[in-house]
Structure 1
Amino acid sequence: MTPAINVVKKNNIHYTLHEYTHEASNTSYGSEAAEKLDVPEERVFKTLVVYLENKDLAVAIIPVSYLLSMKAIAKALGAKKAVMATPADVERATGYVLGGVSPLGQKKRLKTIIDISAQSHTTIYVSAGRRGLEIELKPEDLKTLVNGKFAELCQ
């Protein structure tokens, strides 16, 4: 059981777990999940952590096939600027290893923005807290669980 799974269970959210064998040589974690689960990449979302200009950390959840617009995430959070966080800071703040960073059950609750494209799907997939494990849930349920909001985030 990961902290992410514990969060959905505790909140009585309907979800489905999907497990696959992660190949250690594969560093494109989201694309690997989409391929191995036979799900379109537009439904598999990655969890990215950014620094804002005041050094606060925040989370962007976007489809694995897209790139995060730093201007868009900064604007969505009312900041002037955003840059990607270092891997060490990501792991320290979330409690998860890269490739298994879930937006759910993080050690420290961070401001979270979900790409608006999530709303066009009945369910989406996000990391369940370790490589090779995805959790499928409704975008609105994810938004509620992370106390997030939807905004356009992709380039």
Structure 2
Amino acid sequence: MTPAIDLLKKLKIKFNIHQYKHDLNQTNYGKEAIDKLDPSLNVTAAQVFKTLIVSLSGNNKALAVCMLPVDTHLDLKKAAKALNCKKIDLADPNLAQKITGYLVGGISPLGQKQQLPTLIDLSAKQHTTMFISGGRRGLEIEIAPQDLVDILQAKLVEIIA
């Protein structure tokens, strides 16, 4: 499958896989996931989280992961404060792909080439399960938020604007 799924299996974490046919013309990957996930799941945009790679203080060697609902925007100041740095910026997409080993639109927080400091928006706690990229476009992992926090040693903080 993918490094993300392999990691979950290795750790014996409970999760579900949801697949859909990715439209090659689609660039709003989060909206596509919401639209194409099985309607019987009753998935809301608040449950589907995007994975953003950010650079700390303009340093392309100091990176972190920010996870937030796909229909929200990252508050750069809140995230920078949570990461104990003056400012953050979205990392260059090519750098994000190189560092994580995943393509943009399919970047999973799990199974990356190296584990980066990770922030997950506090809103994840409102859900029994959340949906994250499984490591490729058209592949979502449904997982309990606390399991994701534990695996990634992530901080649950408010990072949405």
Q: Normalised by the size of structure 2, how large is the TM-score?
A: 0.94
Structure 1: 4+ residue segments shifted above 3 A: none
User: Which of 70, 93, 117 matches 1:87?
Assistant: 93
Q: Deviations over 1:95-118 (max 9, x none)?
A: 000000000000011000000000
- State the match for 1:102 in structure 2: 108
Separation (CA, whole Å) in 1 of partners of 2:31 and 2:109:
17
Give runs of aligned pairs for residues 112-131 of structure 1, distance below 5 A.
112-131=118-137
User: Which of 42, 46, 62 matches 2:46?
Assistant: 42
> Matched residue of 1:100: which SS?
coil
Alignment RMSD: 0.8
1:145 Cα offset (Å)? 1.1
Equivalenced residue count is: 155
1:54 Cα offset (Å)? 6.0
Q: Deviations over 1:12-40 (max 9, x none)?
A: 10000000001011100011101111321
Separation (CA, whole Å) in 1 of partners of 2:142 and 2:85:
30
Separation (CA, whole Å) in 2 of partners of 1:141 and 1:53:
29
Structure 2, unaligned runs of 5 or more: none
Q: Counterpart amino acid of 2:9?
A: K
Separation (CA, whole Å) in 2 of partners of 1:75 and 1:82:
9
Tell me whether 1:22 sits opposite 2:26 in the alignment: no
1:84 Cα offset (Å)? 0.5
Give runs of aligned pairs for residues 137-148 of structure 1, distance below 5 A.
137-148=143-154
Q: Normalised by the size of structure 1, how large is the TM-score?
A: 0.98
User: Which of 33, 57, 65 matches 1:59?
Assistant: 65
